[in-house]
Amino acid sequence: MLKRILVPIDGTEHSWRALEYACELVAYTRGSLVIMTVSGGMTKQPVIESNGDILYAQIGDEVLDAAHAMLLGKNIDCTYLLENGGNIAENILRTVEEERCDGIVLGSRGLGVLQGLLRNSVSQIVLENAEVPVTIVK
């Protein structure tokens, strides 16, 4: 049973669908979400929580802000992470280990099979290399 799910988001329609799907999963398991996005710097910045209010270090990350707004009132335990720079698929796989997640839910870019193989899509790389179950949402 999935108790802690990593949901990488990038602001695309597919990633928002993945987040909605992950919310439904943890509603059944009473689990938690680790929501991450990747930006252009070099170090990971956890989101700071103070007295129940979430404060974002001055990172200017609209994607995490939008995810937080989407989840307000849903009573889901969430951790928000900003991963800066590097290979996105490697960041996802490393975060699964660091955050002790037992599943990944991520959005597809909507590429066809041939285009996805030729472009080494993030979802394809994660699917092939993850040691936990992976759900790809279209």
| Domains assigned to the chain | 4-137 (3.40.50.620)
pLDDT band, residue 123 (cuts 50/70/90): confident
- Whether residue 44 contacts residue 14, with contact meaning beta carbons closer than 8 Å, is answered with no
Could you list the beta-strand ranges (E) of the chain: 4-8, 32-39, 45-46, 48-50, 53-55, 77-84, 103-107, 134-137
At residue 87 the predicted structure's pLDDT band, cuts being 50, 70 and 90, is confident
Q: Does position 52 have pLDDT exceeding 60, yes or no?
A: no
0.75 exceeded by the pTM? Answer: yes
Instruction: Quote the tokens at residue 37.
Output: 């996005």
Higher pLDDT, 23 or 59: 23
Span 96-109, average pLDDT:
93
Mean pLDDT of the chain: 80
